[in-house]
Amino acid sequence: MSRSAHPAGPRHADVLTEGHYAAPPADLNVLDEKVWARTVSRNDDGAVTVGGIEVTRLAEEFGTPAYFLDESDFRARCRAWADAFGPGADVFYAGKAFLSRAVVRWLKEEGLNLDVCSGGELTTALDAGMPAERIAFHGNNKTVAEIERAVQVGVGRIVLDSFQEIVRVSHIAQRLGKRQRVQIRVTVGVEAHTHEFIATAHEDQKFGIALAGGQAAEAVRRALTLDGIELIGIHSHIGSQIFDMAGFEVSARRVVQLLAEVRDEHGVELPEIDLGGGLGIAYTSDDDPREPHEIAKALGDIVTRECEAAGLATPRISVEPGRAIVGPTAFTLYEVGTIKHLEGLRTYVSVDGGMSDNIRTALYDAEYSVALVSRRSDAEPMLVRVVGKHCESGDIVVKDAFLPSDLAPGDLIAVPATGAYCRSMASNYNHALRPPVVAVRDGEAREIVRRETEEDLLRLDVG
């Protein structure tokens, strides 16, 4: 929405702001279900509840800042993805979005597989009992130790990301007396419409092997001749927080073209393709994400059509959603500390967290929404910037949003859709203690990742 569409009325409505902002909603007490986890609602007393528990009670028990994750929503989203793709396809949850042992158990129970991209994620997965054959191992620079471990435990697939790695995995597997199933990650050369840092299918970046110039075909040639590895398919991940399915269509088409070339050259039909993750979620009311069944249908149709045209049997499809599963299921709860009204400029609301628990606003210019959740308010909307407590002016959590003008220190506000890439990218900047992740379900709340303590910080500082 343009600035000119901004209505008069709210405090500092004439403020010049770099970000774009929507007009205030008719009623700030209403929670847009698009951006909030499914069991979140406001009760008759005006407090917001999740899983049937009031946030005020959660704050008393677990403190702030904290992430609250709606477990039943997480499980429902897993099932929606699994059901949408059906038994003929595989859904791998991308652990980089957020991973803990509880999450691994939920994935296992709900029938999902898991994509890991580091030794640490692999350890978490195995420790929580994810069968190795349901794990895919990714990364553009896996260490020898990571590859050895992955091959040793028998991960279902390693996604090869470079020419060196094809040879490396082959050697390691032979040395360990194993035959490792692998896919080759290709870059299909599409520009996904998302932030530059999270777009991964154009050629000038560090991931994958380009289809262009026959490089991917050469990688296949080598993988097919080397011992110790079994090439089961081609992988493509075009980027993250994508709404437009066109990029996936191009990607699927180009990957199928490669399968046809491989068939023509080697007489081999590779049985699998992985189209990666990247499906966008709603961070604000302006975002309109696709449902898993729409995505499954769009991808299934295009792969089937392209394969028919190329005379190929339709390969088994896999996808790797991370954000689309966990993102919407959690919110971050903060306590308001100070409020500064800079006359004619802007109102800053400072909270007890910031860029250490949500780096996405600073890093990707991400948009978020925010609501007063400890009580109802019918005060006029006020345009604010929600900032953290770090020693940096770029420490912004929500660039522009409306909160009630009677907001006061001690109020609790919550930022929805922080389940993905917030705790997993959290830092100890300024020696902040990383917040806990609290799973809430059917009136019960429990920490699945506890809050860091000062002892934790000092334990690493060996003097």
- Give CA–CA dist 335/379, Å, rounded: 19
What mask of x and - would describe binding to ligand LLP in positions 53 to 92, judged by CB under 6 A? Answer: ----------------------------------------
| Minimum distance, C-beta of residue 288 to ligand LLP, in the bound complex (Å) | 16
| Minimum distance, C-beta of residue 422 to ligand LLP, in the bound complex (Å) | 8
Q: Catalogue the active-site residues.
A: 391
Residue placing its CB nearer to ligand LLP in the complex, 175 or 293: 293
Under the binding rule (CB under 6 A), the answer on residue 94 touching ligand LLP is yes
Under the binding rule (CB under 6 A), the answer on residue 290 touching ligand LLP is no
Element (H, E) at 303: helix 292-310
Residue placing its CB nearer to ligand LLP in the complex, 199 or 386: 199
Under the binding rule (CB under 6 A), the answer on residue 423 touching ligand LLP is no
Residue placing its CB nearer to ligand LLP in the complex, 169 or 412: 169
Under the binding rule (CB under 6 A), the answer on residue 323 touching ligand LLP is yes
- Give CA–CA dist 167/118, Å, rounded: 19
Beta bridge partners of 115: 94, 136
Which of 42, 138, 181, 290 is in the footprint of ligand LLP by CB under 6 A? 138
| Minimum distance, C-beta of residue 93 to ligand LLP, in the bound complex (Å) | 9
Cα–Cα distances (Å) from 231 to 120, 184, 234, 264, 313, in that order, read 25, 8, 8, 16, 17
Under the binding rule (CB under 6 A), the answer on residue 360 touching ligand LLP is yes
Residue placing its CB nearer to ligand LLP in the complex, 198 or 210: 198
Which of 40, 97, 234, 355 is in the footprint of ligand LLP by CB under 6 A? 97
**Taking the CA of residue 429 as centre, how many other CA atoms within 13 Å lie in the half-sphere pointing to its CB?**
16
Under the binding rule (CB under 6 A), the answer on residue 241 touching ligand LLP is yes
Under the binding rule (CB under 6 A), the answer on residue 240 touching ligand LLP is yes
Number of residues that bind ligand LLP (CB under 6 A): 23
**Longest CA pairwise span in the chain (Å):** 72
| Minimum distance, C-beta of residue 364 to ligand LLP, in the bound complex (Å) | 6
**Taking the CA of residue 168 as centre, how many other CA atoms within 13 Å lie in the half-sphere pointing to its CB?**
18
Instruction: Identify residues 324-343 at the interface with ligand LLP (CB under 6 A).
Output: 324
| Minimum distance, C-beta of residue 320 to ligand LLP, in the bound complex (Å) | 4
Under the binding rule (CB under 6 A), the answer on residue 289 touching ligand LLP is no
Q: Write out the two tokens for 286.
A: 């302006």
Spell out the residues 6+ positions from residue 78 whose beta carbon is closer than 8 angstroms to its own: 91, 93, 106, 107, 110, 111, 112, 325
Cα–Cα distances (Å) from 243 to 49, 70, 82, 286, 371, in that order, read 30, 24, 20, 12, 25
Under the binding rule (CB under 6 A), the answer on residue 321 touching ligand LLP is yes
Under the binding rule (CB under 6 A), the answer on residue 198 touching ligand LLP is yes
Instruction: Kindly report the number of other CB atoms within 10 A of residue 355's CB atom.
Output: 25
Q: Write out the two tokens for 447.
A: 């920490």
In which residue are the tokens 């997965």 written?
125
| Minimum distance, C-beta of residue 326 to ligand LLP, in the bound complex (Å) | 8
Q: Please choose, out of 10-18, 243-251, 270-278, 376-384, the segment that lies near ligand LLP by the rule CB under 6 A.
A: 270-278
Residue placing its CB nearer to ligand LLP in the complex, 54 or 249: 249
Alpha carbon 86 to chain centroid, angstroms = 22
Spell out the residues 6+ positions from residue 172 whose beta carbon is closer than 8 angstroms to its own: 144, 147, 148, 151, 228
| Minimum distance, C-beta of residue 30 to ligand LLP, in the bound complex (Å) | 27
Under the binding rule (CB under 6 A), the answer on residue 137 touching ligand LLP is no
Task: Give the phi and the psi of residue 372 in degrees, each rounded to 5.
Answer: -75, 125
Which of 320, 357, 395, 411 is in the footprint of ligand LLP by CB under 6 A? 320
Q: Which among 107, 104, 103 has a CA at the least distance from the CA of 91?
A: 107
Residue 276 identity (one-letter amino acid): G
> Which residues sit at the interface with ligand LLP, rule CB under 6 A?
94, 96-97, 115, 138, 198, 237, 240-241, 276-279, 320-324, 360, 364, 420-421, 425
